[in-house]
Amino acid sequence: MRSLLLIAAALLSFAATMTFESSDANAVVCGRGPYRAGCAGYRGAVVVRRPPVVACRWIWVDGVKVRRCY
């Protein structure tokens, strides 16, 4: 009887351990500024520049509507 209780306790503790298994932490932190944005994680960091703002207009050239971007 005592051996059965020990086996049952061992199985119960093993099942409880598998239920509350911890996972890896994969945290990533990102930030955005006025000139560039970036993210940092456990494998390194990445910085991205924003493209310049382009002004576009529709104009008429020889009777055809054309989009010009400056």
Judge whether 44 lies within some domain.
yes
Whether 62 is covered by a domain: the verdict is yes
Number of separate domains in the chain:
1
Residue pair 27/42 in contact (Cβ under 8 Å)? The answer is yes
Q: What pLDDT, on a 0 to 100 scale, did the predictor assign at position 24?
A: 60
**Does the residue 32 lie in any domain?**
yes
Of 12 and 27, the one with more pLDDT: 12
Lowest-pLDDT range, 13-17, 22-26, 49-53, 64-68? 22-26
What is the rounded CA–CA span in Å between residue 1 and residue 60? 97
The average confidence (pLDDT) of the chain is 80
Tokens of 68: 């010009």
In a domain, 6, yes or no: no
